Each structure stands twice: as C-alpha cells, then as structure tokens.
Amino acid sequence: MPPPPTLNSNITAIEL
C-alpha cells in the first residue's frame, strides 16, 4: 500500500 498523498507530496518535494 503506497503512502498517503500528503506524505507522497512531501517526499516528492524533498526529492525535487
């Protein structure tokens, strides 16, 4: 199960 959208957005922002 993938993480919630909120966590996903945070991870994406950190990766970017």
pTM of this structure = 0.08
Contacts of residue 8, Cβ cutoff 8 Å, sequence gap at least 6: 2
The residue type at 2:
P
Question: Which pLDDT does position 5 carry in this prediction?
Answer: 63
Contacts of residue 3, Cβ cutoff 8 Å, sequence gap at least 6: 11
pLDDT digits (tens, 9 = 90+) for 1-16: 666 666 666 666 665 5
